[in-house]
Amino acid sequence: MKQTSLDLVLRDLQTLHAVVLATGNQVHIWSPGVHVPSHLLNQVNTHKRAVKNRVERSSIYVCPSPGLHRSSWEYVNGRFYCRVCEQLQQYVS
């Protein structure tokens, strides 16, 4: 699969273990103690709708802790999602 610039941005955020949150029409990055480069924040803002869509679907591409959550990843209807992130999303949305 060809990687888009958004894929690369989300991969970089994942490397930082940054949590991507979607509330209302906004997307926020939560990364306590970790500096998120402004170009990543700008890209998230540019692709806000697509990022929000991935967060709302608990896509593995916005899972902040693949190492810890991987055993909770499931493949349903052609997409991978993270059951742990899905649960966490309910508390912040």
Judged by the rule CB under 5 A, the positions of this chain that interact with Zn ion are 63, 69, 82, 84-85
Taking the complex as a whole, how short is the minimal distance between the CB of residue 84 and Zn ion, in angstroms? 5
Nearest-approach distance from CB 24 to Zn ion, in angstroms: 22
Contact between 16 and 34 under an 8 Å Cβ cutoff? The reply is yes
Buried/exposed 65-82: b ≥16 CB within 10 Å, e otherwise: eeeebeebbeeeeeeebb
| Minimum distance of Zn ion from residue 93's CB (angstroms) | 15
- Residue 49 or 70: the one with the smaller Cβ distance to Zn ion is 70
